[in-house]
């Protein structure tokens, strides 16, 4: 990239980021340093109150930790009160404790303290329970610098929230040495233009919020092989190289208003050949080069003066005065305040530095404090501090940054996003991990698959066994975990065993590899360039793993570009692009223009229902535009509160089964021209011929106006007057005659289903075509599907719909596949089955059919049910496949006989749109449709607003007589909260 193009690009960035012309015009010709743009009467007045010793103290910044005891906190207070230091730099601790300490120290300080922190990737770099944004190396892969500008603003907002005025970021070192032990992932990359553009955006974002940015580590720490924390790195290249490369981003940022610079601890003979003298202590480097030749007028900070790059050569106090004499303005991490002040006074007396020069630096510090708002200081509010630091808006921005950075380096035959799930049998492997990873959890949202774990030192024999086992899978998706971040860690923690396994796997299977660690680690994985797909995720966090899993299946697209060259296979600028929105993405509410706090009412409503024992727990999911923006679990499986509800738990869907199985199959057949709703039941079901059901038209059947009886209590005919079961109906143990499980210790006769069908055929049919909701036709639906297709009902559903969606948990009789702690129990049936129903269907008729019916019996979690509803919302299309053809779903979702009968074909619709007591949310449009379930379930789609809504609960626990969920109207009220939140749509660019 040419220099003049960079200038133009930066200007565009600043305009895009909202830096107005008026603000730009306030810059004086002499300087762009923000706090020097205007005179400060406050700084003048404060300066006049300071004694010579207090002025020196203004240049001192002492280290503080918020994770230590009260005596330590008191010792810092004593330094502040006694010596009147100018500032603090906070290190490890917590935000609440730090804010409290800041308030205390500011209260006892005559001049407000300049509070700083080293938060290169956000407060999470130093403080617990706070947010970490991507490392700078990841940010270097982002093409949209406006996102980084927004990150700078957000980090500044968080800093101000806890009373911080300076953030020692960005790192502008150009990492052109892959073996750099101290910078590496902290750099934006190896190209000076890219580093500069990213650093500029970060700097502008912070300083537009009046938090001072700090470019480090002057004059450039990117090409070293010694960590200055433990020694003094030697920089041996030429002055020309320094000017053309290392100094380039510093110059550009200075020209654009950089507020402060940090000087590194390095030996640079071409600038100052004094033996063992760090650049921090070098007058030729700080005064002559930085302040003189480069004309920098902002604040100059030393790097920490307790680092071994300087501390091993000079004691505390002495090193500080040497740094001041070199030209630094602020002494960072002064470890002996008393000695430092004394030594500076001596230097003034000896003529090594003048009082006037000290005063000029003090005035700069005071003007910076004024610009930071310290002239009108108010204590940090302690209320809601954790919530304010972890907002949904910030989380969404973080997600955007990660999505924009993750880099796809290989995608052979466009393997990603993975398509045609019905044809796949994937396996998920965690390489370097011993338990389920966030990456695997994320992948499981798209399709549940077998998981494997390969600890770092797994024996070769076990590796061989696993490799053989993995040959049975169509694709293997590997996450590489627990890698070292620094080059000083041998091979970044990649063991020989890991390499042997991955190399063999790549050569024998279609393999997708996602590397969660320092991007340079890719060079240590043998034959990685031969994998089917390679994802560079830059670091290991739950968020990066979450986003990477979405990239694999197309929830998000790949956008990032590699900011460094790894080897001849993976070079700077590499990065493939894939399409987003192929399947569900999982996001914050802000991604669909909704403020998270506007959804707080959902939790209130669900917790009210739990508190009033309408339900013991629930799972709620809402998606808009194919983005799942709300997915939470509440409460417990039962009122005993032993098993908390998880979003992956399976619920008995009850009558939602009708639209999820019978109707799904009939619509699929209709799309294929094998079913016509204008034909009769007798057309498709041989057993109906010659009965009073033969001529019932399916359009009437599916709208519940065919005259069918509402329901039949089939189980009652199995019971004797004394309460025992008739001999030919049930047994407590399975056998050839009684093989079908109805519930625990209850098995039904193998031919009893025939009796049920006969009873349905004998039931009366009303001649009056009026709406009467009936289960009977849906009980018959599996037989209709089998008659039309010649295929079993369950197999047909799996092969034509569920397998394509990756809806792994949509299943009958879940006890056969899932542990009971993943299945939410329903009612304690005291009349028929006389037990708590757990893993078997609640509906009596469905249970007598072996748990498989078209009216009830389906189980599933909210996520998989949402996939099916999204298919309906998309009018039969999902993930590039048309599963239900011919606009069938949209036709079936319409009212057929309005106004007399409000039902759609198989689907429920708003009975009275706008009615707060109705069967749908008052704001749900008339075009919306779905179904409710007796057990407390609800599935709904809104084509106008592109919404999918799922509410799963077990309101029948412990008894179906509990109707409080209906009385509270929780299910529809929750959806109404979404509509109300949408009315306050946010503008998020």
Q: How long, in residues, is the chain?
A: 989
Strands of 723-810 (E only): list them. Answer: 730-731, 740-743, 746-748
Each residue's pLDDT tens digit, 169-227: 999 999 988 887 778 899 999 999 999 999 999 999 999 999 999 999 999 886 676 66
Cβ count near 474 (within 10 Å): 12
At 225 the pLDDT is 64
What number is the average pLDDT over the span 768-792? Answer: 97
Give the SS3 label for residue 408.
Answer: strand
At 487 the pLDDT is 85
pLDDT category of residue 29 using cuts at 50, 70 and 90: very low
Distance CA 971, CA 556 (A): 30
Cβ count near 754 (within 10 Å): 11
**In contact, 883 and 876? CB cutoff 8 Å:** yes
Decide if pLDDT at 146 tops 70. yes
Phi first, then psi: what are they for 836, rounded to 5°?
Answer: -75, 130
Decide if pLDDT at 7 tops 60. no
Residue partners of 816: CB distance under 8 A and separation at least 6: none
Residue partners of 21: CB distance under 8 A and separation at least 6: none
Decide if pLDDT at 24 tops 90. no
Q: Which helix (H) or strand (E) holds 931?
A: strand 929-933
Cβ count near 288 (within 10 Å): 16
Tokens, residue 885: 């053809």
Residue 467, exposed/middle/buried by CB under 10 A (0-12, 13-18, 19+)? middle
At 569 the pLDDT is 98
Distance CA 606, CA 622 (A): 14
Least confident of 29-38, 222-231, 459-468, 592-601: 222-231
At 18 the pLDDT is 44
Q: Which helix (H) or strand (E) holds 409?
A: strand 407-411
Least confident of 485-494, 889-898, 944-953: 485-494
Residue 847, exposed/middle/buried by CB under 10 A (0-12, 13-18, 19+)? buried
At 222 the pLDDT is 64
Tokens, residue 715: 């189980």
Between 334 and 4, where is the model more confident? 334
Packing angle between helix 392-405 and helix 542-553, nearest 10 degrees?
60
Q: Report how far Cα 930 is from the mean position of its chain's Cα atoms.
A: 29
**In contact, 534 and 409? CB cutoff 8 Å:** yes
State the Cα angle at 835 between 831 and 840, rounded to 5°: 105
pLDDT category of residue 14 using cuts at 50, 70 and 90: very low
What number is the average pLDDT over the span 813-840? Answer: 98
What number is the average pLDDT over the span 744-750? Answer: 97
pLDDT category of residue 341 using cuts at 50, 70 and 90: very high
Could you tell me which residues are beta bridge partners of residue 878?
A: 881
Distance CA 591, CA 989 (A): 10
Distance CA 601, CA 982 (A): 13
At 985 the pLDDT is 62
Distance CA 676, CA 697 (A): 10
pLDDT over 70 percentage in the chain: 95
Phi first, then psi: what are they for 727, rounded to 5°?
Answer: -65, -30
DSSP per-residue codes, 160-177: HHTT--EE---B------
Decide if pLDDT at 678 tops 80. yes
Distance CA 859, CA 876 (A): 21
At 829 the pLDDT is 97
DSSP per-residue codes, 386-398: HHHHS-HHHHHHH
What number is the average pLDDT over the span 141-148? Answer: 98
Residue with tokens 């695997």: 440
Q: Report how far Cα 222 is from the mean position of its chain's Cα atoms.
A: 31
Phi first, then psi: what are they for 878, rounded to 5°?
Answer: -160, 135
**In contact, 419 and 578? CB cutoff 8 Å:** no
Decide if pLDDT at 739 tops 50. yes
Distance CA 979, CA 74 (A): 52
Q: How many CA atoms lie within 13 A of 955 on its CB side?
A: 26
Each residue's pLDDT tens digit, 502-526: 999 999 999 999 999 999 999 999 9
Distance CA 504, CA 869 (A): 41
Strands of 85-135 (E only): list them. Answer: 87-90, 114-117
Radius of gyration of the chain from its Cα atoms, rounded to whole angstroms: 34
At 180 the pLDDT is 74
Least confident of 8-17, 438-447, 767-776: 8-17
Q: List b or e across 591-608, with b for residues whose CB sees 16 or more CB atoms inside 10 angstroms.
A: bbbbbbebbebbeebbee
Domains of the chain: 58-388 (3.20.20.300), 406-583 (3.40.50.1700)
Decide if pLDDT at 540 tops 60. yes
Decide if pLDDT at 8 tops 50. no
Mean pLDDT estimate for the chain = 94
Distance CA 876, CA 827 (A): 34
At 230 the pLDDT is 61
Least confident of 1-15, 606-620, 803-817, 916-930: 1-15
What number is the average pLDDT over the span 914-936? Answer: 96
Alpha-carbon torsion (760, 761, 764, 765), positive or negative: positive
Q: Pairing state of beta strands 947-953 and 585-586?
A: unpaired
Alpha helices in 936-989 (DSSP H): 964-968, 970-983
Each residue's pLDDT tens digit, 970-985: 999 999 999 999 997 6
**In contact, 711 and 759? CB cutoff 8 Å:** no
What number is the average pLDDT over the span 476-501? Answer: 94
Each residue's pLDDT tens digit, 276-286: 899 999 999 99
Tokens, residue 819: 């542990």
Decide if pLDDT at 987 tops 80. no
Residue 627, exposed/middle/buried by CB under 10 A (0-12, 13-18, 19+)? buried
Decide if pLDDT at 2 tops 50. no
Residue partners of 983: CB distance under 8 A and separation at least 6: none
pTM of the predicted model as reported, rounded to 2 decimal places: 0.94
At 276 the pLDDT is 87
At 176 the pLDDT is 84
pLDDT over 90 percentage in the chain: 91
Could you tell me which residues are beta bridge partners of residue 860?
A: 651
Nearest Cα neighbor of 446 from 533, 552, 547 is 552
DSSP per-residue codes, 715-731: GGGGB-TTSPBPTTTEE
Each residue's pLDDT tens digit, 369-411: 999 999 999 999 999 999 999 999 999 999 999 999 999 999 9
What number is the average pLDDT over the span 729-756? Answer: 97
At 238 the pLDDT is 87
pLDDT category of residue 31 using cuts at 50, 70 and 90: low
At 307 the pLDDT is 87
DSSP 537: -
pLDDT category of residue 228 using cuts at 50, 70 and 90: low
Distances (CA, A) of 247 to 78, 238, 289, 611: 40, 12, 11, 63
Each residue's pLDDT tens digit, 807-823: 999 999 999 999 999 99
At 984 the pLDDT is 73
Each residue's pLDDT tens digit, 76-117: 999 999 999 999 999 999 999 999 999 999 999 999 999 999
């Amino acid at each position: 990239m040419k220099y003049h193009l960079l200038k133009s690009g930066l200007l565009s960035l600043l305009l895009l980021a909202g830096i107005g012309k008026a603000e730009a015009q306030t810059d004086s010709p002499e300087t762009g340093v923000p706090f020097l743009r205007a005179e400060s009467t406050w700084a003048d007045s404060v300066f006049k109150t300071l004694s010579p010793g207090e002025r020196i103290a203004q240049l001192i910044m002492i280290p503080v930790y918020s994770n230590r005891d009260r005596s330590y906190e008191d010792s810092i207070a004593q330094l502040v009160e006694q010596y009147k230091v100018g500032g603090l730099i906070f290190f490890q601790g917590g935000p609440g404790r730090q804010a409290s300490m800041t308030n205390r120290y500011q209260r006892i300080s005559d001049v407000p303290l300049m509070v700083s922190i080293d938060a290169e990737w956000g407060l999470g770099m130093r403080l617990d329970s706070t947010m970490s944004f991507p490392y700078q190396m990841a940010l270097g892969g982002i093409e949209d610098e406006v996102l980084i500008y927004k990150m700078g603003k957000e980090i500044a907002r968080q800093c101000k929230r806890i009373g911080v005025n300076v953030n020692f970021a960005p790192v502008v070192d150009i990492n052109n040495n892959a073996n750099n032990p101290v910078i590496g992932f902290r750099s934006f990359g190896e190209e000076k233009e890219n580093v500069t553009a990213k650093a500029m955006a970060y700097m502008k974002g912070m300083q537009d919020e009046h938090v001072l940015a700090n470019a480090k580590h002057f004059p450039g720490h990117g090409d070293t092989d010694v960590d200055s924390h433990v020694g003094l790195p030697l920089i041996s290249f030429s002055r020309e190289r320094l000017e053309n490369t290392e100094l380039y981003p510093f110059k550009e940022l200075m020209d654009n208003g950089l507020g402060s610079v940090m000087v590194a601890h390095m030996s640079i003979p071409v600038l100052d050949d004094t033996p063992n003298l760090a650049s921090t202590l070098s007058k030729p480097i700080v005064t002559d080069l930085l302040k003189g030749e480069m004309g920098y007028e902002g604040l100059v900070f030393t790097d920490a003066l307790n680092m071994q790059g300087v501390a091993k050569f000079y004691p505390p106090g002495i090193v500080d005065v040497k740094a001041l004499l070199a030209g630094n303005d602020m002494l960072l991490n002064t470890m002996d305040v008393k000695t430092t002040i004394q030594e500076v006074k001596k230097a003034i007396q000896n003529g090594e530095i003048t009082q006037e020069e000290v005063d000029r630096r003090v005035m700069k510090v005071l003007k910076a404090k004024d610009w930071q708002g310290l002239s009108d200081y108010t204590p940090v509010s302690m209320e809601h501090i954790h919530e304010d630091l972890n907002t949904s808006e910030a989380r969404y921005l973080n997600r955007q940054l990660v999505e924009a950075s993750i880099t796809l380096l290989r995608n052979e035959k466009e393997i990603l996003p993975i398509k045609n799930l019905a044809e796949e049998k994937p396996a998920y492997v965690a390489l370097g991990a011993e338990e389920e990873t966030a990456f695997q959890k994320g992948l499981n949202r798209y399709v549940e698959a077998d998981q494997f774990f390969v600890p770092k030192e797994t024996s070769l024999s076990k590796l061989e066994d696993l490799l053989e086992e993995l040959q049975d899978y169509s694709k293997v998706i590997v996450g590489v975990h627990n890698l070292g971040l620094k080059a000083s860690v041998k091979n970044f923690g990649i063991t020989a065993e890991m390499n042997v396994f991955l190399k063999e796997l790549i050569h024998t299977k279609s393999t997708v590899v996602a590397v969660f660690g320092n991007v340079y680690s890719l060079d240590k994985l043998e034959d990685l360039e031969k994998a089917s797909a390679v994802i560079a995720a830059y670091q290991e966090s739950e968020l990066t793993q979450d986003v990477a899993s979405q990239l694999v299946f197309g929830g998000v697209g790949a956008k990032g570009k590699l900011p460094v060259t790894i080897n001849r296979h993976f070079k700077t600028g590499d990065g493939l692009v894939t399409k987003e929105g192929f399947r569900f993405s999982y996001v914050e509410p802000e991604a669909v223009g909704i403020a998270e706090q506007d959804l707080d009412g959902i939790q209130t409503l669900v917790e009210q229902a739990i508190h009033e024992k309408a339900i013991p727990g629930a799972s709620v999911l809402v998606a808009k535009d194919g983005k799942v923006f709300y997915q939470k679990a509440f409460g417990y499986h039962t009122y005993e509160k032993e098993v908390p509800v998880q979003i992956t738990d399976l619920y008995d869907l009850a009558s939602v089964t009708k639209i999820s199985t019978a109707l799904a199959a009939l619509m699929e057949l209709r799309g294929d021209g094998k079913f016509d709703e204008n034909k009769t039941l007798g057309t498709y079901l041989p057993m109906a011929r010659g009965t009073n059901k033969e001529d019932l038209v399916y359009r009437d059947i599916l709208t519940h106006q065919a005259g069918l009886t509402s329901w039949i209590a089939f189980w009652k005919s199995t019971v004797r007057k004394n309460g025992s079961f008739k001999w030919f109906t049930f047994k407590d143990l399975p056998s050839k005659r009684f093989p079908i499980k109805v519930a625990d210790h209850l098995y039904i006769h193998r031919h009893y289903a025939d009796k049920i069908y006969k009873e349905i055929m004998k039931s009366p049919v009303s001649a009056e075509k009026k709406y009467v909701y009936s289960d009977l036709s849906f009980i018959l639906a599996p037989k209709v599907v089998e008659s039309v297709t010649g295929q079993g009902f369950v197999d047909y559903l799996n092969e034509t719909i569920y397998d394509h969606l990756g809806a792994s948990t949509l299943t009958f009789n879940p006890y056969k596949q899932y542990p009971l702690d993943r299945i939410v129990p329903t009612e304690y049936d005291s009349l028929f089955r006389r037990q708590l129903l757990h893993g078997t269907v609640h509906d009596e008729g469905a249970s007598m059919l072996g748990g498989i019916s078209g009216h009830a019996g389906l189980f599933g979690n909210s996520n998989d049910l949402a996939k099916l509803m999204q298919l309906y919302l998309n009018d039969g299309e999902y993930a590039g496949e048309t599963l239900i053809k011919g606009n069938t779903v949209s036709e079936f979702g319409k009212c057929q006989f309005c106004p007399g009968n409000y039902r759609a074909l198989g689907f429920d619709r708003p009975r009275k749109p706008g009615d707060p007591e109705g069967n749908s949310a008052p704001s749900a449009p008339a075009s919306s449709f779905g179904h409710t379930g007796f057990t407390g379930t609800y599935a709904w789609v809104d084509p106008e607003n592109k919404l999918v809504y799922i509410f799963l609960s077990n309101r029948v626990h412990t008894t179906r007589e509990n109707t409080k969920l209906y009385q509270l109207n929780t299910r529809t009220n929750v959806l109404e909260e979404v509509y109300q939140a949408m009315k306050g749509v946010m503008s998020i660019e």
